[in-house]
Chain A
């Protein structure tokens, strides 16, 4: 709107229609904001507000109930000390090493398996419509269902081992779920089973989006199938890797329920993840300050991994 038009507005009659029109356009401008406002407000309060509140609580001496007197970083000091108590392992040490093992293997295997399955399914095979949902459906189950099902399946007295013994293979031995050193790997197995189909679907969508012309050009240039995938397809799938990584990373961090349902914490608490630690200390042990501090550390760790990754990935994208 020019300044000239505004200065003449009072005098000319056609401007009588303008206020209503401007209300409409203004409303149109505002509408998205109005629609978004409740969820925006809810996010501000319930996500960012509570993040700040948790950070605040971690510096108090809150026990059963929140206390609002800042008493210093004792909770962090305790966590820091526990970080280095490896023999016998402190619960916190177990939690963070498990997080490392679980997070690394879970993300890596899901990505590898998902990509592999997607490539296989992409070979224009018959029955893809049937096979795809078979792999995808585990994602529709909750972690609790997955956990309980795998708990029974992996239990030496009930599941796989027992069945194979009944079939005559009596030397078969698979008791990872009862073993303090291996129980975390059973969590990886169950987690991978659940999520890899979903990752496969993401990669499949990515593969379908690749321009066939590029593939043909590469084939004419004499690229082998391996080279084709190694040099052309996988690099082109980079955005999918980003999405898959983000999805998997947050699933890994929040997989509290899987550990509880599958292992109830494992022998001597050996399957704990930081989320289990947080819940246990905040709600069961009435050590809210320590629980909050561990939650803050989880958030910072996640931020430290995700933010640089997002930054590097999003920056390189062509504008």
Chain B
């Protein structure tokens, strides 16, 4: 009985395979950009591919979010049923590449000149063992302040240049009866803010050593303790109800003028746009004080799988279209991020986008483009999540002092390595 059942399953699976193999003019795409602006931005790509005669097929994901998509991807790959490409983040690409299931786009990359146009820091995640395995779609950066301009004018604030300026500004807001800092008390948001705090407190060199190289001396240094002290200072400016809040609700507090500022990645800009707010007149985007000139990034990638040869043409078309200048510009204008290649004209972007593009270029040239540890671009997921645990426990009081936090951080990262 059992054997028959297994044979039946095997047959059914092989049918599924042959059905897939027939669709050579089709791009099968696993992604979770299903809502509003992101879906609209992706439509540009669909149309580009349609022009070349390739049909777009979404791989359905139950549950919607990135976690569900990654679980679905794991199951598909384990079954040997690869999609043409999948939206992927950071170390996931490398994990799959190490498992030997990713394709090879090196030829296309050479032809299109990706080696030169894509920032070197990004290539760490899109190139594995000398082979291009993924096409970066965008570059987000997390060291931004998002400020409500009306509130800023009311309290007479100016752009904070140093961390102390920032504290002074927050004090002003507090005195004026506004919630100074909009924060969502979820571990990734707290850790994302802490990324910026570390860069601001210790500078680029220190950030790289501690958060990318995970150097133990740096992790337990006094500078790191100072960073935790600074984080503790910032947390005193949040409203008592912050714990567990979603990031977009925190952004909404700034949009509505209930709060002065949010420290968040540039995806927050999408919320401002959706609320019909304009940069410069309604809201301001500054780099986190003390981090100007450096960019802490994360990036969405389309990981390209090792599909059968007859499906490779569709894959190459997808990769080429993804990194084409027109799509990079059109997509990132909507998404709030900046193009993943540094030679895309910034004409269509708003003021914040233009600054983002210029900053990325400068950081790329100056070697100050760093992966965000909170967003999983500084270290593998096990380490990144251990880091988020420690930050969150510090913010919510399970870890009481900076000394203790530093000890715990070293221990947690060591444990997760």
Point out residues on A near B: beta carbons under 8 Å: 37-38, 41, 44-45, 63-65, 78, 88-89, 91, 155-157, 175, 177-178, 180, 263-270, 280, 283-287
Contacts and interface: CB of A to CB of B under 8 A. Distances in A.
Given A38-B5, A88-B399, A268-B392, A156 B241 contact: yes
Given A264-B186, A283-B70, A286-B95, 18 more contacts: A41-B5, A63-B382, A64-B96, A65-B99, A78-B415, A88-B400, A91-B389, A178-B240, A180-B396, A180-B397, A267-B244, A267-B392, A267-B395, A269-B187, A285-B381, A285-B386, A286-B382, A287-B416
B380 interface: yes
22 contacts: A38-B1, A41-B2, A64-B92, A64-B95, A64-B99, A78-B415, A88-B398, A88-B400, A88-B408, A180-B396, A180-B397, A263-B244, A265-B186, A267-B392, A267-B396, A268-B392, A268-B395, A270-B398, A283-B67, A283-B71, A285-B382, A286-B380
Interface string B401-415: 000100010000001
Contacts of A44: 2
Nearest to A280: B385
B238 to A, nearest CB: 11
A88 B243 CA distance: 19
A268 B398 CA distance: 8
Contacts of B186: 264-265
Contacts of B381: 284-286
Nearest to A268: B396
B3 to A, nearest CB: 10
Contacts of A78: 415
B185 A267 contact: yes
B393 interface: yes
Interface band, chain B? 35 or more
Nearest to B390: A88
Contact of A268 (B71, B382, B397, B416): B397
A270 B70 contact: no
B78 interface: yes
Contact of B78 (A65, A178, A266): A65
B137 to A, nearest CB: 22
Interface string B88-111: 000010011001000000000000
Contacts of A286: 95, 380-382
Contacts, number: 90
Interface string B314-349: 000000000000000000000000000000000000
A177 B243 CA distance: 9
Interface in B204-263: 240-244
A38 B6 CA distance: 11
B2 A45 contact: yes
Contacts of B95: 63-65, 286
B244 A264 contact: yes
A298 to B, nearest CB: 19
Most buried by B among A45, A155, A175, A268: A268
Nearest to A279: B67
Top 9 nearest A-B pairs (CB, nearest first) are A268-B396, A267-B396, A178-B243, A268-B393, A268-B392, A267-B243, A64-B95, A157-B241, A88-B399
Contacts of B185: 178, 267
B78 A268 contact: no
Interface string B149-167: 0000000000000000000
B241 A178 contact: yes
B261 to A, nearest CB: 19
Report which residue of B5, B240, B382 has the largest number of chain A beta carbons within 10 angstroms of its beta carbon: B382
A296 to B, nearest CB: 19
A180 B187 CA distance: 13
A270 B187 CA distance: 11
A284 B96 CA distance: 15
